[in-house]
Amino acid sequence: DATQIAEALLKRGVIIRNLASYGMNALRITIGTKKQNDTFFKHFLEVIS
């Protein structure tokens, strides 16, 4: 569920866009610096595993 993932990432300091307000079970993630992307993927993989 996209909302649960977004909330878990926010608790880890990773801010992404939850598209639930548009009626979609999806997240919008923008490309950042290499460090930001590494941080995102580290936490994202922890959340979904």
Q: Which domains does the chain have, with CATH numbers?
A: 2-48 (3.90.1150.10)
pLDDT score of 7: 98
Whole-angstrom Cα distance, residue 30 to residue 49?
Answer: 22
Helix/strand/coil (H/E/C) assignment for every residue in 1-21 = CHHHHHHHHHHCCCCCEEHHH
Within 8 A by CB and 6+ apart from 46, the residues are 12
CA 46 to chain centre: 11
pLDDT of 1-49, one tens digit each?
999 999 999 999 999 999 999 999 999 999 999 999 999 999 999 999 9
Q: Which residues contact 44 (CB under 8 A, 6 or more apart)?
A: 5, 9, 14
